Amino acid sequence: MLCREPRKIVVEEACKTSRMVEKLRSNLPSAQFQLVESIPDILESDPERLEIVKFRGRFLKSCPGTRHYFCCGYQILHFGVQCSLNCTYCILQAYLNQPNLRVFGNTEDLFAELEQELRAHPKRLYRIGTGEFTDSLLLDRWTEFSRDLIPFFAEQPNAVLELKTKTDFIANLKDLAHDGHTLVAWSLNAPSIRRREEAAAATIKQRLTAARQVSEWGYKLAFHFDPMIEHPGWREGYREVLDQLFSSVDPNNIVWISLGAFRFMPELKPIIQDRHPKSRVVYGEFIRGLDGKLRYFSDIRVELYTWMVERMREIDPNICVYLCMEGEDIWEQVFGFSPEQRGGLPAMLDHAVKTRMKVGLECDESVRPKST
């Protein structure tokens, strides 16, 4: 099942008149709304609870990469935290110190910060996404946040928005003025991994049906095979999902596809073992990487990536495929080149935006910090 309908909406006093709360009251007429001065960070988990807080930090943040691996230069638009899809491998289990779904009610501050940043650097192309600390569309049927976000980006000449999800809820995206500035992205995995490790998420068929529909509405697409998980029959499983992907959507509408092998902080292992005792994802052949995370041995990662790239190149030799948080040696073995030889990974993705979305053609790639 997907996200359970919230029944208890806890609202901080500072957000009581916000547009977010207005939408929730309209779309959840039978929910119980509770007004409080402030919401503490640590409470018992309640799957029916949704918290609306005033966020006092920076809404726009750089992707938390590391100097040891190539980073894509992605910007995260921080609009909420937590996810109820309960994927076994989810890093949020170890990363966040509060268990309940939480969204930020002061969206007027979010848009003000965004506008100020984008106008301050008109020659920089911004790739901005909302799917880092929560699923981009998990709560959208009730918050309708996409209906504000997408038209905003349609008016920004130097920015594109990526909405990343494992759901198939796309109803709010229909008939929006997106002007080609929003791409909708789905995380994909082998069908057996989806069934065992992502049981509450939409099926692969449901995700790709939604992808085909938004493509017909004029949106560009992206897909993320991250985490790729080595398992018996992985070639057959990933071949099946690739066949479904390219039979569902036109490759020319795909801006990029990322690949990332399963990696995790050591402290996540006991959490997965406790919460998901039937999961086997943490029992592979791992070694500690330069960023402190446990990763598959390099030969396993190279085999996973190379096999996937070869299959995708058979369909579209020009599609932008990149590795998430990998070093020069892995890139050289998989692609035969390093991102630095092509201006850096951020420049490669900027080029994909310009050629496949026709956005940011006047922006200067040299103003973007290089990946490290």
- Run means of pLDDT, 10 residues per run, the chain, 372 residues: 84 97 97 95 85 96 80 93 95 86 97 98 96 94 98 98 98 97 98 96 98 98 98 98 97 97 96 96 94 95 98 95 96 96 95 96 73 40
Task: Provide the domain count of the chain.
Answer: 1
Q: Is residue 25 part of a domain?
A: no
CATH number of the domain that residue 186 is part of = 3.80.30.30
DSSP code for 227? E
Q: Is residue 335 part of a domain?
A: yes
Burial class (CB in 10 A: 0-12, 13-18, 19+), 92: middle
Q: Is residue 180 part of a domain?
A: yes
3-class SS of residue 9: strand
Q: Is residue 127 part of a domain?
A: yes
DSSP code for 18? S
User: How many other β-carbons are positioned within 10 Å of the β-carbon of residue 182?
Assistant: 25
Instruction: Give, for 301, the enclosing helix (H) or strand (E).
Output: helix 298-315
Q: Is residue 6 part of a domain?
A: no
Q: Is residue 34 part of a domain?
A: no
Does the model's pTM come out above 0.85?
yes
> Tokens 């506008």 appear where?
115
- What is the distance of C-alpha 186 from the center of its chain? 8
Burial 20-47 (b: 16+ CB within 10 A, else e): bbebbeeebeebeeeeeeebeeeeeeee
Report the Cα–Cα distance between both ends of the chain, in Å, rounded: 39
DSSP code for 223? E
Q: Is the torsion defined by CA of 288, 289, 290, 293 positive or negative?
A: negative
Q: Which domain holds residue 180?
A: 57-364
Q: Is residue 41 part of a domain?
A: no
Asked if 311 and 239 count as a contact pair (C-beta separation under 8 A), the reply is: yes
pLDDT of residue 1: 47
Enumerate residues 6+ apart whose C-beta is below 8 A from 102. Answer: 39, 50, 51, 52, 53, 80, 81, 82
Asked if 85 and 125 count as a contact pair (C-beta separation under 8 A), the reply is: no
> CA separation (Å) from 282 to 266, 326, 343, 356?
10, 19, 35, 37
pLDDT of residue 371: 43
> Tokens 């992206």 appear where?
222
Q: Is residue 32 part of a domain?
A: no
Please state, in angstroms and rounded to a whole number, the distance separating the CA atoms of residues 66 and 48: 36
Please state, in angstroms and rounded to a whole number, the distance separating the CA atoms of residues 204 and 239: 13
